[in-house]
Chains A and B, each alone.
Chain A
Amino acid sequence: MGLYNTHLGNTMLRNVRNAVIIFLLLLFALATLFPIYFMFISSFGDPVEAGAVSYSLWPEKITLDSYKFFFDYSEYSYRWLGNSLLVATVTMASNVVFATMAGYAFAKIRFRGSKALFGVLLVAMMIPYQVTQVPLYILIVNVFNISNSYTALIAPSLVTVYNIFLAKQFMGSIPKEILESAKVEGCSQWQIFTRIVMPLSKTVMAVMAILTFMESWNTFFWPFLVTNTMDMQTIQVGLKNFRFANTTYFAPMMAGATVSALPMFILFFSLQRYFLEGVTVGAVKG
């Protein structure tokens, strides 16, 4: 019983229907995955100028020369990956810790001004980032004078409102009886948080960690604005520079794109469940 007719007693018809559906879905999957496939396949080509290249949809030759070409472009190209890793890891860790703490306070502790403060935080989610971009740039570059530093790359996203919201939504469903009985037993708020709330919130913390890491790894404009030497750039900014400096080198560009995307693909395939879960955790409104 459901939206679809089950075609009871007519398995033939049902199989044909499902085959048609799967065919359609595969067709759409092909269209969505094509750019990624194309990127990956082409990255194994020779690092020659594009005029001489004819694109092919099958790998005619497999060589890692284009990867070498990409990494040889700058003496800091390996460091770009390191920078991205460092920034993404710190951002992830601080978001998980501080957003979980704030989420718990807003979800489960009654304190003066909690509703008003949370409301103020939520307003921020509706403000387009273009509004804060310019003043934030001025603050970091002209006021604090810390452009081209890890602090500048990390500080603005130490803890995001979205993550606080995520944590609060999730923790709202923890039964308050558990917390109250812990209190009766003499637990302090800190103990309740570390021994009861955190173990119960593992899922949301994992989702938060993964999404924040990915967001931070893939972000381009902020690192692009606040870094001005190659040794401080992240892989995304480096890739953009490489592309503008070598506009005709097709295969090396694809190699660079693969280098920037591959770590996230690996992460995605190993932690797929949390990625897919994360989408619905954030979207279901409470």
Chain B
Amino acid sequence: MAREASTIKTKYRLNKGDGAWAYAFIAVALVVYAMFTAYPVVSAFIISFQDYKPLGSSYVGLDNYVSVFQSSLFWKSMGNTVLYTVLTVPVALMLSFGVAILIMPLKKWMQTSFKAIYYLPAVASGVALSVVWLWIFDPLQSGILNQLVGVFGISNQNWLGASATSMFSLVLMSWLSSHGTSIIIYVAALLGIDSSYYEAADIDGASFLQKMWHIVLPCLKPTTLFLLVTGVIGSFQVFQNAYLMTGGGPDHSTTMVGLLIFDTAFKYFEFGNAAAQSLVLALVIAVMAFIQFKFLGKDVEY
């Protein structure tokens, strides 16, 4: 008893003052967070109910939200965003999964080299890459992509300038940009699978495809879910390429929600409307993430 009391006492003495230290350690982080994240979020809610003007805003109730839902452009850009996501995220997952599987039997140094190669484009800035792709999509006969499709007998395309091909061009760009991050995550997950599973499968005489289907796919399900959810969330916010390469055109065929919000805010300076749009986007993203976890993540543990 006495001993127990004394340990409690030392523990108490040891922890005394820790709280103060902890608050000191997190002080800067908290101030930055409060000022540049928490306050803006609260502020976004307030602005979304206002007709924002630098000198004296007026309260307009739900007007901003009503105009968001009545705007055909908002729905069109939502559609574009969904289309872009559906075309890019699953392909990115399959490509990186395939590459990760292929990398596995190679020697260690080769694995590392390939990982580095695939990661490299992610290191270049989005602006630099968009400048390069702009010229790859050059609509003239001499454009790189036009030359390439010319080999297959396809006539010149005005890749970014025509509504029919502009969205596809952005999608193509995303397919061929870096999948390094997801490849590395998949490889790490593959290396984490216990080899005793494979050994047991070998004893049972399982083929490569059977091992893939019964061991690899179930074991990688949490990784796939993680990449799927983060991929979809990221894709719904994407707008830098659209902004830099097509400006959302032609005829709004590449206007994503992210770009629409940017334009509303910083081209037309309708801050209230932009805040309402962004909160609707946030809600959509939250609902989607929830659905994916609910229906795909049933037997996934985190």
Residues in A lying within 8 Å of B, measured CB to CB: 1-5, 17-18, 21-22, 24-25, 28-29, 31-36, 38-39, 42, 50, 53-55, 98-99, 101-102, 104-106, 109-112, 114, 117, 120-121, 124, 126-139, 142, 155-156, 158-159, 161, 164, 180, 183-184, 188-190, 193, 214, 217-218, 220-221, 225, 236, 239-240, 243, 250, 253-254, 256-258, 260-261, 264-265, 267-268, 272, 275-276, 279-280, 283-285
Contact = CB atoms under 8 A, between A and B. Distances in A.
B114 A29 contact: yes
Given A32-B121, A218-B126, A275-B123, A139 B19 contact: no
Q: Is the interface of A mostly helix, strand, loop or mixed?
A: helix
A54 B135 CA distance: 11
Contacts of A25: 99, 102-103, 114
Contacts of A159: 28-29, 32-33
A257 B143 contact: no
B208 to A, nearest CB: 7
A21 B25 contact: no
A242 B49 CA distance: 39
Interface stretch (B67-75, B104-112, B149-157, B161-169): B104-112
Interface in B128-167: 128-129, 131-136, 138, 142-144, 147
A200 B146 CA distance: 54
- 5 interchain residue pairs of minimum CB distance: A189-B21, A135-B43, A135-B40, A105-B25, A257-B128
Interface stretch (B83-91, B175-183, B291-299): B175-183
A261 B178 contact: no
Interface residues of B, number: 106
Contact of A130 (B54, B110, B118, B261): B261
Nearest to A220: B127
A261 to B, nearest CB: 4
A142 B56 CA distance: 12
B60 interface: no
Given A134-B271, A155-B36, A189-B21, 17 more contacts: A4-B105, A29-B118, A36-B124, A111-B23, A127-B37, A128-B281, A129-B237, A131-B279, A132-B44, A159-B29, A236-B125, A239-B131, A243-B134, A253-B131, A265-B120, A268-B116, A268-B120
Which applies to chain B's interface (DSSP): helix, strand, loop or mixed? helix
A17 B208 CA distance: 13
A21 B216 CA distance: 19
A36 B120 contact: yes
Nearest to B277: A130
B211 interface: yes
A131 to B, nearest CB: 4
B117 interface: yes
B18 A55 contact: no
B114 A279 contact: no
A230 to B, nearest CB: 16
A261 B177 contact: no
B157 to A, nearest CB: 16
Given A132-B40, A158-B28, A275-B123, A109 B106 contact: no
B171 interface: no
Contacts of B281: 128, 130-131
Contacts of B106: 18, 21-22
A218 B41 contact: no
A24 B262 CA distance: 40
B45 to A, nearest CB: 9
A30 B110 CA distance: 16
Contacts of A127: 37, 41, 282
Contacts of A55: 135, 138, 142-144, 147
Contact of A1 (B36, B138, B198): B198
Contacts of B237: 128-130
A158 B27 CA distance: 13
Contacts of A155: 32, 36
A30 to B, nearest CB: 10
Nearest to A141: B54
